Amino acid sequence: MIPAPFDYVAATSAAHALDLLAEYGDDAKVLAGGHSLLPMMKLRLAAPEVLIDIGRVTDLSGITRDGDELVIGATTRHADLAASALVREGAPLLAHAAAQVGDPQIRHRGTIGGSLAHADPAADLPMALVALGGSVELRGPAGTRTVVADDFFTGYFETVLGPDELLCAVRVPSRPGLPWGYQKFTRRANDWAIVGVAASGGRIALANMGPVPIRARAAEQAAADGASAAQAAQLAAEGTSPGEDIHADRAFRQHLARVLTRRALEHQA
């Protein structure tokens, strides 16, 4: 449980972080809250030669409104998301999801950008961002590009984020009063979801039902065509191929997806 040796550099700004990424390339990893990266380093699942710390970069944190979107800096803490009046009003599903992450210690150190870049398919915030139809801003040598959440995640712990790019901000539509539902099944309160479901504005996202947070498109289409919550939920697992482990096999996860989707649709806030 001891990481491999590494060098440490604290970035003073987003521009400085990008310069460091350009200098060190694939040998570097970006560190923010550290609650995803450091455990992987202790297990030697990640062995970067250099850690670039962006945790103190003030221009990468904060929550603002830009027209009909909320713009959330990548180093914004989960606890700040959960408590933000702007998020609670405009995207309450995201505030709720942030409040479900880990325990208070994790929520006061972990960041939204770190969770999204880590891309754990069982995590709360990637699923929430997909359900909300949000996007991420990636900054690199060629400038800034915006990638919608549906296209950002590419595989287990993999995204389209390039080795010379920095996830700088997250954008979510601000839709006060829009009904939403959120359900997840865990063994213990602080565990990753065995299966999770988030629903908002006709979109239904599933966690831990594949290598990325995925859309339950058959269920979405059924609901759009007038099916009841129970009828739509029966299609939630269609086309999914979840993994199997000591907690659940594939059939049980697919069963949970149907049950939790029905609850998410029937008990929307």
Say if residue 203's pLDDT is above 90: yes
Share of the chain above pLDDT 90, in %: 85
122 and 207 in a single domain? The answer is no
Does the pLDDT at position 190 exceed 90? no
Cα distances (angstroms) measured from residue 179 to each of 21, 92, 150: 41, 9, 21
Q: What is the mean pLDDT of residues 197-221?
A: 98
Q: What does the pLDDT read at residue 46?
A: 87
Over residues 54-86, the pLDDT tens digits come to: 988 999 999 999 999 999 999 999 999 999 999
Residue 36 has a pLDDT of: 82
In total, how many domains does the chain have?
Answer: 3
Model pLDDT, residue 14:
94
Q: What is the mean pLDDT of the chain?
A: 95
Q: Per the domain annotation, does 1 fall within a domain? A: no
The band of 2, judged by pLDDT with boundaries at 50, 70 and 90, is confident
Of the pLDDT bands very low, low, confident and very high (cuts 50, 70, 90), residue 90 is very high
Identify the CATH number of the domain in which residue 245 sits: 3.30.390.50
Distance from CA of residue 110 to its chain's centroid? 12
Does 81 reside within a domain? Answer: yes
Tell me the C-alpha distance between 8 and 248, whole Å: 39
Comparing CA positions, the residue from 182, 187, 177 lying closest to residue 203 is: 182
Could you give the percent of the chain with pLDDT greater than 70? 100
- Around Cβ 67, how many Cβ atoms within 10 Å? 8
Q: What is the 3-state secondary structure (H, E, C) of the chain?
A: CCCCCCEEEECCCHHHHHHHHHHHHHHEEEECCCCCHHHHHHCCCCCCCEEEECCCCHHHCCEEEECCEEEEECCCEHHHHHHCHHHHHHCHHHHHHHHCCCCHHHHCCCEHHHHHHHCCCCCHHHHHHHHHCCEEEEEECCEEEEEEHHHHEEECCEECCCCCCEEEEEEEECCCCCCEEEEEECCCCCCCCCEEEEEECCEEEEECCCCCCEECHHHHHHHHCCCCHHHHHCCCCCCCCCCCCCCCCHHHHHHHHHHHHHHHHHCCC
The residue among 121, 149, 173 that closes a domain is 173
Q: Is the same domain home to 169 and 197? A: no
Residues 227 and 135 in one domain: no
Residue 2 lies in a domain: no
Calculate mean pLDDT across residues 138-148: 96
Same domain, 83 and 153: yes
**Residue type for position 20:** L
Tell me, what CATH number does 20's domain have?
3.30.43.10
Condensed to tens digits (0 to 9), the pLDDT of residues 7-19 reads: 999 999 999 999 9
Is pLDDT of 170 > 90?
Answer: yes
Residue 138, in any domain of the structure: yes
> What's the pTM value of the predicted model, to 2 decimals?
0.95
Mean pLDDT, residues 218-225 taken together? 98
Whether residue 147 sits in one domain with residue 79: yes
Q: Are residues 74 and 124 in the same domain?
A: yes
Q: Domain range for residue 68? A: 58-173
**CA nearest neighbour of 111 among 83, 62, 78:** 78
Residues 39 and 74 in one domain: no
Last residue of a domain, one of 53, 69, 89: 53
Residue 129 pLDDT level (bands cut at 50, 70, 90) = very high
